[in-house]
Amino acid sequence: MNYTIEEIKNKVDAVYDTVVSMRRHLHMYPELSEEECETSRFICQQLDLLGIPYEKDIAGHGISAVIYGKNRAHGVGLRADMDALPIEEKVEIPFKSKNPNIMHACGHDIHTAILLGAAKILNEMKDDLPGSVRLFFQPSEETIGGARQMIEAGCLTSPAISSVLGLHVDSSTDAGSVELIPGAMNAACCEFTVVVTGKACHGAHPNDGIDALLPACTMVSSLQSIITRRIDPAESVLITVGKFNSGTKENIVSGEAVFSGTMRALDMRNMDKLKTYLTDLCKSTAAAYGASCSISFSGSYPTLENDPKLFDIVMKTAKAVLGDTHVKLTVKPSLGADDFAFFCHESRGLYYNIGCRKPGETDAYPIHSELFCPDESCIRTGILTQVASVLHILKEEEKTW
């Protein structure tokens, strides 16, 4: 398995146009989390053409495929998420979304296309691969966390997957470059919902009821005191309330108020503290106003921490195939969350960003924007770094099998 950098680049160039066409098809027909039926069907069709065996309908519409190398019992994994967002696209391009109010505004169409391109190349190399390669086409990243469900379904076994790589587009970095972050890259995240219960009554006689709106507003305005007074100020934590509903009519004292949001922390121990402090604050505030409340937590993602050995391998590989000037190192993590974190906790994981900003552009729209429009040349960068990194990792891990 001694492919030169030029040989790998030539293979990437050979599949590039086809992969771009795949990406444009996926972009035109985006599907929301847990609804990726046609997306899954399209991926299966491509795997059938390549002759790559797979299992489908995992964790909903997820697909787990395997390229078997010389060692069929051990291997590494590559992951791509494939769900879209409930956003109406406003970018005027020939392959604009045809599904109303749904858009690949987070680049998952690019992630999926890159993985299909890498699969084609690695499949051509399979007789030379010292180990196998598992391909994770993962659903529901934007909602329930399909990664955890795929792991629970046994996708890290048979072959045993010791390392998993993933990538994400980044519109703050030029296409042709990658960005790597050592250690903690993304925060742990947990959603919460608070239901405040009072007693509705006529607005002219508030003393006959218990206003649920008043304690709920006090809770929302007081939550930030947890960040500023209960948590070490040197730690990175966030509480965000994004939704608030209360009341039915302007002259009725509200009998119920419901608000929800997210909590984020780079240290999992702080997530436990946030849950405790939020619960205590809300219950005591409700009691002070004569109301009651219930708090529920859901959708918890752990911290995404990059494995140091994989970090060194991918950093070295990226510099070799892209050049030192196209590899960015940053120590500033994001408080955004990604369920790739589950792969990092169940195996060794490495997540990195690929630039998708047009070179020279200074005001590219960010992900989750209705005007997000990545430079498709980032696809070449993604395939190149994924394939080269897999070859390097397999060579290193072969020594331990």
- Residue spans of the domains in the chain: they are 5-185+303-400, 188-301
Question: So what's the pLDDT on residue 274?
Answer: 97
Q: What topology does CATH give the domain 188-301?
A: Alpha-Beta Plaits (3.30.70)
Question: So what's the pLDDT on residue 5?
Answer: 96
Per annotation, catalytic residue among 277, 301, 351, 352: 301
Q: pLDDT per residue over 84-121, tens digit each?
A: 999 999 999 999 999 999 999 999 999 999 999 999 99
Question: So what's the pLDDT on residue 1?
Answer: 67
Low-confidence ranges of the chain (pLDDT < 70): 1
pTM, whole model, 2 decimals?
Answer: 0.92
Which residue bears the tokens 């395939």?
383
Question: So what's the pLDDT on residue 362?
Answer: 85
Per annotation, catalytic residue among 31, 179, 256, 376: 376
Give the integer Cα–Cα distance in Å for 26 and 109.
6
Superfamily for the 5-185+303-400 domain? Zn peptidases (3.40.630.10)
Question: So what's the pLDDT on residue 401?
Answer: 85
Q: Which residues contact 275 (CB under 8 A, 6 or more apart)?
A: 190, 192, 263, 297
Per-residue three-class SS string for the chain: CCCCHHHHHHHHHHHHHHHHHHHHHHHHCCCECCCCHHHHHHHHHHHHHHCCCEEEEECCCEEEEEECCCEEEEEEEEEEECCEECCCCCCCCCCCCCCCCCECCCCHHHHHHHHHHHHHHHHHCHHHCCEEEEEEEECCCCCCCHHHHHHHCCCCCCCEEEEEEEEEEEEEEECCCEEECCEEEECEEEEEEEEEECECEECCCHHHCECCHHHHHHHHHHCHHHHHHHCCCCCCEEEEEEEEEECCCCCEECCEEEEEEEEEECCHHHHHHHHHHHHHHHHHHHHHCCCEEEEEEEEEECCEEECHHHHHHHHHHHHHHHCHHHEEECCCCECCCCCCHHHHHHCEEEEEEEEEECCCCCCCCCCCCCCCCCCCCHHHHHHHHHHHHHHHHHHHHHHHC
Is position 376 annotated as part of the catalytic site? yes
The residues with which 133 forms a beta bridge, in sequence order, are 67, 76
Is position 277 annotated as part of the catalytic site? no
